[in-house]
Amino acid sequence: MPSINRSKTKTPMPSQDAKLRSKNFNEVALGYTEEDAINEAQRCLNCKKPSCMEGCPVQVQIPRFIKHIAEKNFESAISVIKETNSLPAVCGRVCPQEEQCEQKCVLAKRGDPVGIGRLERFAADWERQQGVKIPDRANPIGKKVAIIGSGPAGLTCAGDLAKLGYDVTVFEAFHEPGGVLIYGIPEFRLPKEIVKQEVDFLKKLGVNVQTDMVMGKVLTVDDIFEKGYEAVFIGTGAGLPKFMKIPGENYLGVYSANEFLTRINLMKAYKFPETDTPVKVGKKVAVVGGGNVAMDSARSALRMGAEEVYIVYRRSESEMPARKEEFEHAKEEGIIFKFLTNPTRIIGDEKGWVKGLECIQMELGEPDASGRRRPVPIKGSEFTLDMDTVVIAIGTGPNPLLIEATEGLKLNKYGYIETDEDGRTSKEGVWAGGDIVTGSATVILAMGAGKKAAQSIHEYLQGK
Amino acid sequence: MFQIIDKKDLAPSIKQFVVDAPLVAQKARPGQFIILRIKEGGERIPLTIADYDTQKGTITIVFQEVGKTTKELGTLKAGDYLADFVGPLGKAVEFSNHKKVLGIGGGLGVAPLYPKLKMLHENGAEVISIIGAKTADMLIMEEEIKAVSDKTYVCTDDGSKGRHGFVTVVLKELLEQGEKFDEIIIIGPPILMKIGTEIAKPYNIPIMVSLNPIMIDGTGMCGGCRVTVGGETKFVCVDGPAFDGSKVDFDELMKRLQTYTSEEKLALDKYHSERGACKCHQ
Ligand SMILES: Cc1cc2nc3c(=O)[nH]c(=O)nc-3n(C[C@H](O)[C@H](O)[C@H](O)COP(=O)(O)OP(=O)(O)OC[C@H]3O[C@@H](n4cnc5c(N)ncnc54)[C@H](O)[C@@H]3O)c2cc1C
Ligand SMILES: Cc1cc2nc3c(=O)[nH]c(=O)nc-3n(C[C@H](O)[C@H](O)[C@H](O)COP(=O)(O)OP(=O)(O)OC[C@H]3O[C@@H](n4cnc5c(N)ncnc54)[C@H](O)[C@@H]3O)c2cc1C
Ligand code: SF4
Ligand code: SF4
Ligand code: FES
Ligand SMILES: [Mg+2]
């Protein structure tokens, strides 16, 4: 029997020093050592009715895998996780655990919950170091399925169908697969090598990944069916950037977070001029928004050499949707938070470059539809922050490019694809899942949707 | 990987490639463009589809060597491969039953003008064209344009060929002579499109321009290519590249094109010094 660790706090996560890391793109959290992991695993009570699992959208068998870690049986731990979660190295790093599994852990009532995410990451990293075993390929069924978009939804759906023996092709618009995991979430939070390895794993399962394929333009969904595919899964994400529609948004030096992060992550502008894509980051940078995207933009700006980086958010700290760990890390790195502050105008110089951000002070009023107290402007409280770069990270919408080129897809009033519980759309043979259905959500929810759709596609094709 | 199957020098520093890209060729229409990346670590640059052959599965692009990426592109030869070649992107242009059209192409703008005039010509429209360049040897695709035009005016800034002066001078003359067109298409550097639009605007003839802001993805996900058209923000890669010229804020477009001037210079200097240092090119 493993011994029990009664500590009320989580085993600390070794991480790069805040001063040092704010100047490089290497991973911030370094991961548990074997001792750390065993030590933390020993805090788990192995509850008969594990409430933690209620918080996990894909029902990872949490106490079972943690027990294996406590017993130093890492191989069993990772295989338990992989029964339900095909991207644990990613989820262990980016799941908002404080709102999911860890929030529901019984220990959270009296102190820190078990570090479930950290343990999941540990198990996945351990497996990668050993060299991931490739499962035997399933007997081919001889039916072709197409997946559009290679984010977590598409990759999960592809992997599950390939394991069942389907001939799966993933069509991705960009030159690299991975979706937000590649172009959005920065290297210092999720090393791209991990995403590459996950994609390589799928390729070894027999999945055919075709990049440079802007679907709707180069091929339509109907073209895919004509090419002999019998089912299609759409996982194109919510990639359309929103702007604030305030004056001055087209000044030079104003970016959408999508553009800013794509330049830095996908195009590797942090290595410019070794790589060819530049990005312009001034000395003073304001990022507008309070989610993960805003944190990632702000912390990237810092690493690109900005001297002062502000997060301008119209609500207060407690309403901020970002992962807690990212908020903590951002504060440690010196990001300056301007809460209850809303931009009203961007000010430019005569050459068209940004030079300031005019903001208005807000206060919290009555709760709105989301249940959060609504920020209302305080009359006459306008003030100006001097800035030379502004990044807008206030959310995204559905990209209409594929949708407009696809006949017979029912959409909701916001333009997202309507599906039933299993991801089935109004169009025969077409499923959808992830952000293109739910609006911007999380990696694990997108994966869950991909998984459900794969099961439903399998049932449909068996019946055909 | 996409193979370059033919290469031609059209003018000093203007080159034409025919690229093997059957899927793109199958869907390509006049007005659309592609985005290419030469190699790993390279940037994504947009280039207009200057011609396409559905049967052969090829796309023709014409580019001017202006900076690091286009200069590096120019060193590739027939038989070489491009890492990425994405398209067809943007909206195809459509013309409703035009009987008489004026097409104006300045500098490299002649290349994107060509497929549009070709389509109009094939549809039976009367095509008048004005093409120009700085000097005679910079003039491109003259034969191709003439083949799809009923009348072609050639201009050079220095008078080394055809009319001495800008293409807009001829535009002004034609309009002042009372010539009527169903549409005027102006493609070239933003300043040319701006001036041409200002000249033509009082005549109440629809004006089509093709915009060229800085792009990355070309699919509407970054918003970097935004321009103001009729007071609204448009993403050129998905809403364009063709727009009603009378509504475009050209000054904003021209400013935004300057965003990376210092970085572009740095990249080019580095490229030149590396090539200089490399023995094989000395
Ligand atoms: C900066 C940032 C940080 C985030 N941080 C977190 C976090 O810490 N934790 C968390 O859980 N979630 C986070 N999220 C949210 C999470 O990444 C998304 O919810 C998730 O990636 C959605 O997955 P998806 O598969 O639906 O779509 P995406 O990941 O968006 O992938 C969609 C893919 O489809 C491709 N595509 C789109 N249109 C086409 C087309 N027409 N043809 C072919 N391909 C197409 C796109 O190029 C893309 O590769 C973050 C998001 C961002 C932007
Ligand atoms: C829809 C569209 C169609 C185009 N078609 C053609 C064409 O058929 N032939 C042609 O020669 N050129 C075309 N261009 C312009 C071409 O993309 C740029 O000349 C090229 O990207 C310059 O790259 P560079 O690295 O060689 O030069 P740089 O030195 O990097 O840039 C020179 C100038 O080109 C512009 N530019 C730089 N990067 C980009 C980018 N990523 N996207 C757009 N413009 C950029 C900027 O104004 C810059 O100042 C088109 C542009 C667009 C948007
Ligand atoms: S997948 Fe996410 S929510 Fe589920 S156990 Fe792992 S970290 Fe927690
Ligand atoms: S609720 Fe907490 S203590 Fe109980 S099994 Fe889950 S992780 Fe362990
Ligand atoms: S190039 Fe990114 S939206 Fe147009
Ligand atoms: Mg360049």
* B113 and B239 together in one domain: yes
Give the mean model confidence (pLDDT) for residues B87-115.
Answer: 92
The CATH number of A18-130 is 1.10.1060.10
The predicted structure's pLDDT at residue A325: 86
B274 domain-assigned: no
CA-closest candidate to residue B85, choices B22, B30, B7:
B22
- Whether the CB of B214 sits within 6 Å of ligand 2: yes
Q: Does residue B267 belong to any structural domain of this protein?
A: no
pLDDT of residue A421: 93
Contact A397, A415 (CB under 8 A): yes
CA distance B260 to A264: 15
Q: Which residues of B are annotated as a binding site for FAD?
A: 62-64
Spatial contact of A310 and A287, defined as CB atoms under 8 Å apart: yes
Q: How far is B230 from chain A (nearest CA, A)?
A: 14
pLDDT band at B165 (very low <50, low <70, confident <90, very high): confident
B108 and B220 in a single domain? The answer is: yes
Cβ distance B271 to B281 under 8 Å?
A: no
Give start-end residues of each CATH 3.50.50.60 domain in chain A. 144-238+398-462, 240-395
Q: Does domain A240-395 have CATH number 3.40.50.620?
A: no
Q: Is residue B51 part of a domain?
A: yes
Within 13 A of B151's CA, how many CA atoms are on the CB side? 8
Q: Is residue B265 part of a domain?
A: no
pLDDT given at position B140: 92
User: Is residue B110 located within the same domain as residue B40?
Assistant: no
Long-range contacts of A336-340 (CB under 8 A, 24+ apart): A336/A308, A336/A309, A336/A310, A336/A311, A337/A310, A337/A311, A337/A313, A338/A310, A338/A311, A338/A312, A338/A313, A338/A385, A339/A313, A339/A315, A340/A313, A340/A314, A340/A315, A340/A316, A340/A364, A340/A375
Residues B168 and B231 in one domain: yes
Edge-to-edge strand ranges of the sheet holding B81-82: B51-53, B58-64, B14-20, B2-11, B81-82
Query: Is B70 in the same domain as B108?
Result: no
**Closest by Cα among A162, A281, A150 to A212:** A150
Are residues B106 and B199 both part of a single domain? yes
Q: What is the per-residue pLDDT for A134?
A: 78
Asked if B245 has any chain A CB less than 8 Å from its own CB, the reply is no
Q: What share of chain B has pLDDT > 90, as a percent? A: 88
What is the CATH classification number for the domain harbouring B57?
2.40.30.10
Burial call A315-342: b when 16+ CB within 10 Å, e when fewer: bbeebbbbbebbbebbeebebebbbbbb
Q: Looking at the structure, do residues B135 and B254 belong to the same domain, yes or no?
A: yes
Atom 1 in ligand 4: residue holding the nearest Cα: A105
pLDDT value, residue A357: 96
**Residue list, ligand 3 pocket, CB within 6 Å:** A 56, 58, 60, 62, 85, 91-92, 95, 97, 100-101, 116-117, 120, 444
- Which structural domain, as residue segments, surrounds residue B51? 2-89
Out of B30-39, B42-51, B271-280, least confident range: B271-280
* B238 has a chain A CB within 8 A of its CB: yes
pLDDT at B277 > cutoff 80: no
Residue B279 pLDDT class (50, 70, 90 cuts): very low
Same domain membership, residue B249 and residue B206 = yes
Backbone angles phi, psi at B8, to 5 degrees: -140, 140
pLDDT the model gives residue B281 = 44
Say how far apart CA A113 and CA A116 lie, in whole Å: 8
Residue B259 in contact with partner chain A when CB distance is under 8 A: yes
Average of pLDDT values for B127-135? 94
Which whole-number Å values give the CA distances from B210 to A276, A428, B48, B104, B166, in the listed order? 25, 38, 10, 11, 18
Concatenated DSSP letters of B151-185? EEEEEETTSSSSEES-HHHHHHHHHHTT---SEEE
Distance CA B233, CA A241 (A): 12
- Domain assignment of residue B40, yes or no: yes
| Residue among B216, B218, B238 minimizing CB distance to A259 | B216
Q: What ligand 1 atom has the least distance to the C-alpha of A323?
A: 8
Tokens representing residue A424 in the block:
């089935």
Q: How far apart are the first and last CA of chain B?
A: 29
Is pLDDT of B130 > 90? yes
What's the half-sphere exposure (Cβ side, CA atoms, 13 Å) at A55? 20
Across the 464 residues of chain A, what is the mean pLDDT of every consecutive 10-residue run? 82 91 91 95 94 93 96 94 89 92 94 96 94 81 96 96 95 97 94 92 92 97 96 96 95 97 96 95 96 96 96 92 90 95 95 95 88 89 96 94 92 94 96 96 94 96 87
Can you give the length of chain B in residues? Answer: 282
- Rounded Cα distance between A36 and B277, Å, is 51
ipTM of the complex: 0.94
Minimum CA distance residue for ligand 3 atom 4? A56
Is A144-238+398-462 a domain of CATH 3.50.50.60?
yes
Task: Give the CATH number for residue B154.
Answer: 3.40.50.80
What total number of domains does chain B contain?
2
Nearest ligand to the CA of B243 is: 2
Mean pLDDT over all residues of chain B?
93
Q: What is the pLDDT of residue A71?
A: 95
pLDDT single digits (tens) B186-213: 999 999 999 999 999 999 999 999 999 9
What 3-state DSSP class applies to B49? coil
